[in-house]
């Protein structure tokens, strides 16, 4: 929920990354990542203090400490086959108090899938993030600008996805096509613990459980949505170039309880380039445009009372400067909502 008002804020972030080898074991001689079966794990912890020290809207003047903890565990049965679990602990409910430390933070399973991958192709079955659609929310992370970009991130999808490497050539570059057939998770795997905000609540960012009756694009009983993306780059003439093109169709939920649902169409165009400035020093600008057709504006027509759907465009520009283990970035994402009358609908 975003409140109206002019604000001034300060924020910081502490990122602690830890790679933990919990258990790596092979029956018989040898152990390690090249032996099977074995377990790999990662733990990433981010603590972020936010201080809204000035606002024309009084409830927004507050201080809060939030976390973003991600734990990934993979059971590698063979070199190609693995079972993967991705858990998260982050804010799922907005804070309505003047001061909060981890208030409204909840834990949930974001991904739980079986993966089979070879050099040329790969498949994933289960609950997963469809990370091939868009790049701004992942490749140039920041404290503020990615908040809008994450709105079109396709997370917690249930279904089948796969990729195929079309070209892997020194002169032509590397190019990969990815596809997925899915529905957005409305099973018991969406359950959160510690904080369990109700669906549709004023302060809710992520409900304690998503239900089929909630409706909305992608919220169907069976896989009925799909996406296709093409990404790649690094041709010989432009070795720093990379791109991402994609289209996603989200089938309307067919729940009779919720009428706020229609088919949604999404498209993305993203381009980045790595410039080598000096030894160990690179600068990477990125531009990305995403359009969502039939976006839900959470509003109703004043005459008919029917739900209002329109068009939303996201424009992102960012730059990432990296030197050895250090990185600095700046970026902005603009979101432009247009009512049906403004887009000729």
Q: What is the pLDDT of residue 246?
A: 97
Closest CA to 164 of 231, 221, 223: 231
Whether the per-residue pLDDT at 202 is higher than 70: the answer is no
Report how far apart, in Å, the C-alpha atoms of 7 and of each of 58, 160, 203, 296, 314 are: 10, 43, 19, 26, 22
Residues 137, 91 within the same domain: no
pLDDT over 90, % of the chain? 43
Residues 167, 98 within the same domain: no
Residues 93, 174 within the same domain: no
Q: What is the pLDDT of residue 258?
A: 52
Higher-scoring residue by pLDDT: 167, 27: 167
The mean-pLDDT minimum among 144-148, 158-162, 312-316, 320-324 falls in 144-148
The mean-pLDDT minimum among 8-22, 75-89, 314-328 falls in 8-22
Residues 46, 179 within the same domain: no
Q: What is the pLDDT of residue 19?
A: 37
Q: What is the pLDDT of residue 144?
A: 55
* CA–CA distance, 304 with 173 (Å, rounded to integer): 53
150 three-state secondary structure: helix
Estimate the share of the chain in helix, then strand, then coil, as percent rounded to the nearest 5.
5, 60, 35
Mean pLDDT score, 278-288: 93
Tell me which residue range forms the domain holding 65. 1-117
Q: Let me know the angle formed at the C-alpha of 271 by 269 and 277, rounded to the nearest 5 degrees.
A: 170
Instruction: Count how many residues are written for the chain.
Output: 345
Q: What is the pLDDT of residue 157?
A: 96
Closest CA to 288 of 242, 239, 235, 342: 242
Residues 104, 168 within the same domain: no
**The domain boundary residue, chosen from 117, 136, 166:** 117
Mean pLDDT score, 118-130: 96
Residues 196, 323 within the same domain: yes
Residues 134, 205 within the same domain: yes
Residues 209, 92 within the same domain: no
Residues 218, 177 within the same domain: yes
Higher-scoring residue by pLDDT: 303, 344: 303
Strand partners, 225: 182
Q: How many domains does the chain have?
A: 2
* CA–CA distance, 234 with 220 (Å, rounded to integer): 38
Q: What is the pLDDT of residue 129?
A: 95
Whether the per-residue pLDDT at 16 is higher than 70: the answer is no
Residues 58, 194 within the same domain: no
Residue 196's Cβ-count burial label (10 Å; 0-12, 13-18, 19+) is: middle
The mean-pLDDT minimum among 60-64, 173-177, 211-215 falls in 60-64
**The domain boundary residue, chosen from 98, 117, 136:** 117
* CA–CA distance, 232 with 132 (Å, rounded to integer): 11
Residue 63, both tokens? 């201080």
Residues 108, 181 within the same domain: no
The mean-pLDDT minimum among 78-92, 141-155, 256-270 falls in 141-155
Closest CA to 241 of 173, 288, 290, 177: 173
Q: Let me know the angle formed at the C-alpha of 305 by 301 and 310, rounded to the nearest 5 degrees.
A: 35
Average pLDDT, the chain: 81
Whether the per-residue pLDDT at 25 is higher than 70: the answer is no
Report how far apart, in Å, the C-alpha atoms of 241 and of each of 73, 129, 285 are: 32, 25, 10
78 pLDDT tier (thresholds 50, 70, 90): very high
Q: What is the pLDDT of residue 4?
A: 34
Mean pLDDT score, 275-280: 92
Higher-scoring residue by pLDDT: 17, 146: 146
Residue 195, both tokens? 């904080």
Mean pLDDT score, 300-319: 82
Whether the per-residue pLDDT at 241 is higher than 50: the answer is yes
**The domain boundary residue, chosen from 117, 140, 155:** 117
Mean pLDDT score, 309-324: 91
Residues 113, 190 within the same domain: no
Q: What is the pLDDT of residue 315?
A: 94
């Amino acid at each position: 929920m975003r409140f109206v008002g002019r604000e001034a804020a300060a924020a910081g972030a502490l990122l602690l990354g830890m790679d933990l080898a919990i258990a790596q074991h092979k029956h018989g001689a040898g152990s390690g990542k090249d032996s099977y079966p074995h377990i790999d794990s990662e733990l990433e912890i981010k603590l972020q203090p936010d201080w809204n020290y000035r606002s024309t809207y009084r409830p927004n003047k507050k201080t809060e400490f939030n976390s973003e903890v991600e734990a990934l565990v993979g059971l590698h049965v063979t070199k190609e086959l693995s079972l993967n679990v991705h858990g998260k602990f982050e804010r799922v409910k907005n804070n309505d108090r003047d001061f909060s430390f981890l208030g409204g933070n909840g834990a949930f399973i974001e991904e739980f899938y079986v993966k089979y991958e070879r050099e040329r192709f790969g498949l994933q079955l289960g609950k997963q993030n469809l990370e091939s659609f868009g790049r701004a929310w992942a490749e140039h992370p920041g404290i503020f600008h990615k908040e809008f970009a994450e709105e079109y991130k396709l997370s917690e999808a249930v279904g089948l996805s796969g990729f195929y490497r079309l070209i892997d050539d020194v002169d032509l570059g590397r190019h990969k096509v990815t596809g997925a057939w899915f529905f957005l998770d409305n099973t018991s795997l969406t359950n959160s613990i510690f904080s369990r905000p109700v669906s549709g609540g004023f302060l809710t960012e992520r409900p304690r459980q998503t239900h089929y009756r909630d409706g909305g694009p992608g919220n169907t009983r069976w896989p009925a949505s799909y996406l296709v993306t093409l990404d790649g780059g690094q041709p010989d003439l432009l070795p720093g170039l990379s791109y991402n093109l994609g289209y996603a169709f989200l089938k309307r939920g067919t729940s009779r309880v919720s009428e706020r649902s229609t088919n949604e169409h999404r498209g993305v165009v993203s381009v980045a380039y790595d410039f080598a400035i000096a030894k160990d020093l690179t600068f990477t600008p990125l531009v990305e445009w995403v359009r969502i057709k039939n976006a839900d504006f959470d509003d109703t027509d004043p005459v008919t009372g029917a739900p209002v759907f329109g068009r939303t465009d996201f424009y992102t520009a960012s730059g990432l400067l990296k030197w050895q283990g250090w990185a600095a970035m700046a970026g902005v994402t603009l979101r432009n909502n247009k009512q049906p009358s403004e887009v000729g609908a």
